[in-house]
Amino acid sequence: MISFGMQLEDILFQQDNAPVHKAYNVMDWLERHSIEVVDHSPYSPDLNPIEHVWVELKKGLHQQYPRIADTPGGKETVKKRLAQVLPLVWETIPEFFEKLWKSMPDRVATVLEARGLYKVLTSVMYLIYRGG
């Protein structure tokens, strides 16, 4: 985030409620660096846009580098290759990011309407992929 010209004090940090993310060391570090943590309902995982980014990134990786797991040299070589190509794949999905952030008002409305129930959110996910 710093690479985009942002300062740490300008950052709002969103995370899910996984115990590892709420560990004392993590929360202490965020507090010491004055990073505000946004509350996130554990019953509304689709409000976390990064989860959809991971899906899109993985899809792009498999489309552009379908045999990357077969890279000769074992796990360490595959990891190094992934470190090389994932930034390249990331650069190929900018339209997805726009669709994703534009879908957030509909996502929030759906979660509010469903009172946080997860099952309704599959229709919101559809809005992103159809270009909504």
Tell me what pLDDT residue 53 has.
Answer: 87
For the stretch 22-67, pLDDT in tens is 788 888 988 888 888 877 665 555 677 777 888 899 999 999 999 9
Which is nearest to 124 in space by CA: 44, 55, 39?
44
Q: How many CB atoms lie within 10 A of CB 93?
A: 15
Tell me what pLDDT residue 5 has.
Answer: 62
pTM: 0.56
Domain boundaries, the chain: 2-38, 45-129
